[in-house]
């Protein structure tokens, strides 16, 4: 009985001797309603000659296109056709032998179908489809197997045959691996990577067994008739499961990923594989770590999980005292093991050789820390392993240890040449210079070493140790500074002939001294306390460290000299050398303007500093140099700096020269704006603005020249606009033109100023409109009065004198202004009747008007006053309007 995988079809073969066996195909998903049984889709009688024999073996391809049936008479019949749809089949006896057939299995690979046939005496194969079809069966091995003792491994198509001595695998090329497993076998079945074997009950005839059967009855019989069910993992060569079965197993089935066993009692047992973690745990409990490792590798576990097994195995071996074996496991798990755990164990057990092995592997895997490097060097020192120490320090390829730690250990041991070798080998120029200066105190050699470096490497080393070098080698160091900052620096390349090292004085001897010094730092029971001797450095290192070579070459520099001001701080307490450096930098052609400002200002300051230090003639000489420096033409020294330095140094000549310069206040403000010093510009504006109104328009233009400057100015722009508006320093149109020269100032920024200006102009316009309207109304009133006086009679109704207040009586005088007086109160004689009389009450106002008219007439001829007013005016149109109102164009006289 076979089930077609992936379908609901079941193939069965039934035999009822002496009739021919009957093969049927059942559709399990199609049930007959009347009977409730599956539908039989195909029926076929299997032919085996004239005499019927029992079926001993059966096999089928997965698609039922071919079936093989083996019989006890040694014949094998192959059925081909479409059994699923019952479209006809063909049968053919492909093999006949004298031995009964015990098993048949198909191997279908690459369009080649091979049928394996086993008998009681042989194992054969024949091609039934593909290249080689029709050829007679070929004997693979002259040994057969029992019924049910042959199966096929679905994973690779190999045929598995179990015999009493071993388990054999057969591939397309013949016999493959075999595994010894003694004992009789009655049934075999492959389940994934496992092999399930049934061992039949063992028969016995001794007297003791017979006695037990006689007295035990059926229970004792069952005990002696038990079979063994064993599951093997042939790859790991382990027994995965084994148990004794009272009820013998009739068949084994692979279904739904599990293994099922059908017993003679009709019971079905399911066997499910444990998880990988459970299987590993079983190995751990039994200390079978090798099997656990093999299982993990076979299962495809990642390296981190395998390392856990290696670590457990190593701990097991360490507890057993197998330190070397444990170390091998720790080395395998080094990538995921905390190094401190292993190191602590081997330190406690004083297994220095193993510890060195582990520390070296840490460095190989680039997992070593500074502490690991230190410990490894200490271990080398304890064991006096000169060869390994030299190999470690001179290891080729990528750096496998912490360079700083190794150099530090050599320096602490007093072997600066070895430390310099490591630093030089790995291009640590700064450390080499540090060793020469801080440890060896070889300042001149350190400076020469710096001079051999390329400009990019020489600069940071020169700047770092500039003060120390100036203190010990002032002239040479100043010269190096001048060459570097004037663009004349050229690295000096030293060529030292290579000589073979002497056997006793080679690097191994130097390393021995280094080991001895390292050993002095740790307690070693077997350490030799003999004093160390001074040794020469390896010739390879001498290429860098030996500074007394004779062969020198130069190379063309390709660098941009830094700004001179970066070196100023290095010359503290070295004023003479500093002045030499500044003068040399100024002598260089094509000095940038910004550098000129720094150099001239600093040189001026140093001249004054030297003048204060010296007395007498030297003081006068330094002051003369300072005065000459600031008197020169086009000297870019800020006047405010000159004034400040002169004041601090009590240099009166400098203060006088600064004060003699015209427009000092405005120039100070401009110096702040040129340097983009917004705070300084604001400070100068607040200080000098009240006396220099022209600073405010300049400040307005500066604040709006750049967005960054505008942000730094903050509310100061509003103050400047208010000042300009209040004092009338600029017309609104001029302010707008200044602000519109770039896109820095926005409308939102000057909106308050514009609103205020527009509102003020509107108020002035409204006020002027009101004045004009009042003047027009008054003029119309006066004109009407004049017309009435000229064309109509006037009725005087006053009854009292406007001067004395008494009732009017003749003689009396009436004026057209409606004022009436006694003639006596006017104090006018009678002979003046012909003259024009004027009302005494209105006379003061009339005199004022006549004076204004006379003044306007005089102003019409004074053109120089008009021109002067125009030149001083900020709003000339308003000035012209004002003079036009004053009668510049001429007015008629009025009396």
Same domain, 23 and 157: yes
pLDDT, residue 117, reads 94
pLDDT, residue 213, reads 47
- Kindly report, residue by residue over 525-569, the tens digit of the pLDDT: 323 333 333 333 333 333 333 444 444 445 555 789 999 999 999
pLDDT, residue 155, reads 86
The confidence band for 199, taking pLDDT boundaries of 50, 70 and 90, is very high
Same domain, 171 and 221: no
Same domain, 6 and 143: yes
**Higher pLDDT residue, 344 or 374?**
344
Q: Is residue 83 part of a domain?
A: yes
Q: CA-to-CA distance for 391 and 376, rounded, in angstroms?
A: 13
The confidence band for 889, taking pLDDT boundaries of 50, 70 and 90, is low
> Quick check: 702 and 709 in contact, CB under 8 A?
yes
Same domain, 119 and 199: no
Lowest mean pLDDT among 38-52, 238-252, 564-578, 862-876: 862-876
Lowest mean pLDDT among 187-191, 237-241, 620-624, 662-666: 662-666
- Kindly report, residue by residue over 272-289, the tens digit of the pLDDT: 999 999 999 999 999 999
Same domain, 75 and 98: yes
Which residues lie across from 44 on neighbouring strands? 23
**Higher pLDDT residue, 414 or 699?**
699
pLDDT, residue 534, reads 34
pLDDT, residue 716, reads 85
Q: Quote the Cα angle for 810-815-816, to 5°.
A: 140
Q: CA-to-CA distance for 628 and 319, rounded, in angstroms?
A: 89
pLDDT, residue 336, reads 86
> Quick check: 199 and 206 in contact, CB under 8 A?
no
Domain count along the chain: 2
> Is the sign of the CA dihedral 748, 750, 752, 758 positive or negative?
negative
Q: CA-to-CA distance for 121 and 828, rounded, in angstroms?
A: 182
Which residues lie across from 68 on neighbouring strands? 59, 78
At 119 the three-state DSSP class reads strand
- Residue 880: CB atoms within 10 A of its CB come to 15
Q: CA-to-CA distance for 361 and 379, rounded, in angstroms?
A: 14
> Can you tell me the mean pLDDT for 778-800?
84
Q: CA-to-CA distance for 227 and 187, rounded, in angstroms?
A: 11
Q: What is the dihedral of CA 862, 865, 866, 870, to 10 degrees?
A: 170
Same domain, 124 and 52: yes
At 27 the three-state DSSP class reads strand
Q: Is residue 886 part of a domain?
A: no
- Kindly report, residue by residue over 43-55, the tens digit of the pLDDT: 888 888 767 788 9
pLDDT, residue 482, reads 93
Over 70: is that where the pLDDT of 689 sits?
yes
pLDDT, residue 831, reads 53
At 485 the three-state DSSP class reads helix
Q: Is residue 412 part of a domain?
A: no
Same domain, 109 and 257: no
Helix (H) or strand (E) holding 10: strand 9-14
Q: CA-to-CA distance for 668 and 673, rounded, in angstroms?
A: 9
The confidence band for 665, taking pLDDT boundaries of 50, 70 and 90, is low
Q: Is residue 233 part of a domain?
A: yes
Q: Where are the alpha helices (DSSP H) in 588-660?
A: 593-613, 617-631, 639-648, 652-660
> Quick check: 209 and 224 in contact, CB under 8 A?
yes
Across the chain, mean pLDDT equals: 81
Q: Is residue 246 part of a domain?
A: yes
pLDDT, residue 208, reads 47
Same domain, 156 and 30: yes
**Higher pLDDT residue, 239 or 52?**
239
SS3 sequence, 784-815? HHHHHHHHCCCCCCCCECCCCCCECCCCEEEC
Over 50: is that where the pLDDT of 119 sits?
yes
Q: What is the percent of the chain with per-residue pLDDT over 70, rounded to a whole number?
A: 84
pLDDT, residue 521, reads 38
pLDDT, residue 168, reads 94
- Residue 759: CB atoms within 10 A of its CB come to 10
pLDDT, residue 409, reads 77
Over 60: is that where the pLDDT of 341 sits?
yes
Same domain, 140 and 267: no
Phi then psi for 57, rounded to 5 degrees?
A: -155, 155
pLDDT, residue 502, reads 42
**Domain with 166 in it: what CATH number?**
2.120.10.30
Lowest mean pLDDT among 462-476, 640-654, 689-703: 640-654
Range of the structural domain that residue 215 is part of: 183-273
Over 80: is that where the pLDDT of 216 sits?
no
Q: How many residues does the chain have?
A: 895
User: Which tokens is 315 given?
Assistant: 């701990």
Over 90: is that where the pLDDT of 475 sits?
yes
Q: Is residue 418 part of a domain?
A: no
> Quick check: 46 and 91 in contact, CB under 8 A?
yes
> Can you tell me the mean pLDDT for 710-718?
84
- Kindly report, residue by residue over 7-33, the tens digit of the pLDDT: 888 889 888 877 888 999 898 888 888
Same domain, 15 and 152: yes
Q: CA-to-CA distance for 488 and 229, rounded, in angstroms?
A: 93
Domain boundary among 178, 207, 227: 178
Answer whether 0.75 is exceeded by the pTM: no
Over 50: is that where the pLDDT of 355 sits?
yes
Q: Is residue 421 part of a domain?
A: no
Same domain, 16 and 154: yes
Conformation bin of residue 871: beta by default, left when phi > 0, alpha when psi is -120 to 50: alpha
- Kindly report, residue by residue over 311-339, the tens digit of the pLDDT: 999 999 999 999 999 999 999 999 888 99
Same domain, 5 and 114: yes
Over 50: is that where the pLDDT of 663 sits?
yes
The full DSSP string for 33-66 is TTT-PEEEEEEEEPP-SSS---EEEEEE-TTSSE
Phi then psi for 703, rounded to 5 degrees?
A: -60, -30
pLDDT, residue 34, reads 85
Domain boundary among 238, 273, 308: 273
pLDDT, residue 124, reads 93
> Can you tell me the mean pLDDT for 619-641?
82
Domain boundary among 211, 245, 273: 273
Q: Is residue 593 part of a domain?
A: no
Over 90: is that where the pLDDT of 221 sits?
no
> Can you tell me the mean pLDDT for 808-818?
84
> Can you tell me the mean pLDDT for 184-196?
91
């Amino acid at each position: 009985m076979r089930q077609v995988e992936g379908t609901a079809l079941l193939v069965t073969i039934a035999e009822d001797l002496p009739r021919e066996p009957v093969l049927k195909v059942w559709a399990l998903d199609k049930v007959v309603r009347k009977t409730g049984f599956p539908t039989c889709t195909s029926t076929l009688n299997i032919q085996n000659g004239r005499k019927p024999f029992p079926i001993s073996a059966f096999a089928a391809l997965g698609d039922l296109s071919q079936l093989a049936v083996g019989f006890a008479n040694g014949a094998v019949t192959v059925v081909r056709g479409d059994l699923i749809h019952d479209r006809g089949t063909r049968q053919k006896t492909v093999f006949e032998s004298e031995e009964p057939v015990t098993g048949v299995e198909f191997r279908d690979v690459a369009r080649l179908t091979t049928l394996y046939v086993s008998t009681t005496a042989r194992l054969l194969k024949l091609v039934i489809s593909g290249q080689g079809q029709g050829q007679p069966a070929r004997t693979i091995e002259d040994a057969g197997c029992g019924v049910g003792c042959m199966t096929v491994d679905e994973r690779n198509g190999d045929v598995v045959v179990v015999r009493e001595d071993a388990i054999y695998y057969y591939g397309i090329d013949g016999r493959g691996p075999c595994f010894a497993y003694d004992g009789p076998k009655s049934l075999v079945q492959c389940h994934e990577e496992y092999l399930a074997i049934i061992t039949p009950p063992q028969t016995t005839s001794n007297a003791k067994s017979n006695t037990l059967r006689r007295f035990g009855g059926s229970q004792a019989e069952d005990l002696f008739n038990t079979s063994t069910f064993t599951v093997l993992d042939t790859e790991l060569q382990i027994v995965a499961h084994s148990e004794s079965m009272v009820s013998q197993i009739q068949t084994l089935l692979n279904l739904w990923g599990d293994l099922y066993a059908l017993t003679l009692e009709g019971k079905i047992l399911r066997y499910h594989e444990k998880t990988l973690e459970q299987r590993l745990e079983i190995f751990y409990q039994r200390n079978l770590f090798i099997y656990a490792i093999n299982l993990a590798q076979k299962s495809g576990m990642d390296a981190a999980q395998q390392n856990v097994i290696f670590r457990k195995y190593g701990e097991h071996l360490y507890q057993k005292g197998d330190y070397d074996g444990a170390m091998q496991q720790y080395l395998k798990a080094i990538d995921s093991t905390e190094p401190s755990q292993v190191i602590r164990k081997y330190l406690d057990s004083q297994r220095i050789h193993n510890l060195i092995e582990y520390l070296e592997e840490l460095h190989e895997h680039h997992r070593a820390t500074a502490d690991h490097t230190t410990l490894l060097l200490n271990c080398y020192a304890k064991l006096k392993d000169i060869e390994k120490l030299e190999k470690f320090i001179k290891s080729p390829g990528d750096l496998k240890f912490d360079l700083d730690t190794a150099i530090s250990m050599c320096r602490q041991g007093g072997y600066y040449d070895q430390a310099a070798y490591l630093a030089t080998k790995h291009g640590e120029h700064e450390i080499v210079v540090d060793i020469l200066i801080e440890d060896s105190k070889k300042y001149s050699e350190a400076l020469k070493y710096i001079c051999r470096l390329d400009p990019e490497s020489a600069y940071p080393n020169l700047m770092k140790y500039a003060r120390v070098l100036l203190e010990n080698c002032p002239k040479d160091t100043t010269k190096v500074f001048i060459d570097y900052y004037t663009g004349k620096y050229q690295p000096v390349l030293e060529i030292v002939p290579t000589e073979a090292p002497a056997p006793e004085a080679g690097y191994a001897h130097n390393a021995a001294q280094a080991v001895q010094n390292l050993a002095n730092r740790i307690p070693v029971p077997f350490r030799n306390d003999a004093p160390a001797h001074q040794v020469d450095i390896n010739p390879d290192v001498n290429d860098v460290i030996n500074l007394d070579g004779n062969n020198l070459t130069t190379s063309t520099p390709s660098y941009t000299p830094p700004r001179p001001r970066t070196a100023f701080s290095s010359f503290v307490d070295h004023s003479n050398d500093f002045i030499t450096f500044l003068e040399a930098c100024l002598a260089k052609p094509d000095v940038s303007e910004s550098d000129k400002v720094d150099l001239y200002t600093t040189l001026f300051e140093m001249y004054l500093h030297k003048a204060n230090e010296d007395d007498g003639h030297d003081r006068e000489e330094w002051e003369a140099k300072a005065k000459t420096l600031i008197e020169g033409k086009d000297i870019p020294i800020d006047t405010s700096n000159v004034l400040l330095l002169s004041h601090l140094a009590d240099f009166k000549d400098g203060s006088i020269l600064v004060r003699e310069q015209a427009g000092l206040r405005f120039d100070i403000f401009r110096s702040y704006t040129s340097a983009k010093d917004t705070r300084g510009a604001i400070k100068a504006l607040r200080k000098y603005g009240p006396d220099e109104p022209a600073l405010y328009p300049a400040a307005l233009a500066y604040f709006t020249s750049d967005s960054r400057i505008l942000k730094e100015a903050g509310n100061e722009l509003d103050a400047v606009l208010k000042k300009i508006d209040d004092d009338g320093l600029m017309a609104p149109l001029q302010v707008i033109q200044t602000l519109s020269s770039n896109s820095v100032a926005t409308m939102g920024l000057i909106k308050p100023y514009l609103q205020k200006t527009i509102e003020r102009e509107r108020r002035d316009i409204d006020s002027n409109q009101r004045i004009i309207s009042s003047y027009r109304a008054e003029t119309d009133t006066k004109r009407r009065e004049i017309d009435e006086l000229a064309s109509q009679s006037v009725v005087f109704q006053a009854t009292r004198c406007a001067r004395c207040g008494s009732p009017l009586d003749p003689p009396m005088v009436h004026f057209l202004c409606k004022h009436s007086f006694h003639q006596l109160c006017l104090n006018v004689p009678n002979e003046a009747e012909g003259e024009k009389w004027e009302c005494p009450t209105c006379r003061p106002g009339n005199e004022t008007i006549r004076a204004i008219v006379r003044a306007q007439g005089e102003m019409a001829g004074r053109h120089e006053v008009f021109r002067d007013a125009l030149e001083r005016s900020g709003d000339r149109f308003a000035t012209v309007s004002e003079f036009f109102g004053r009668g510049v164009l001429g007015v008629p006289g009025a009396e």
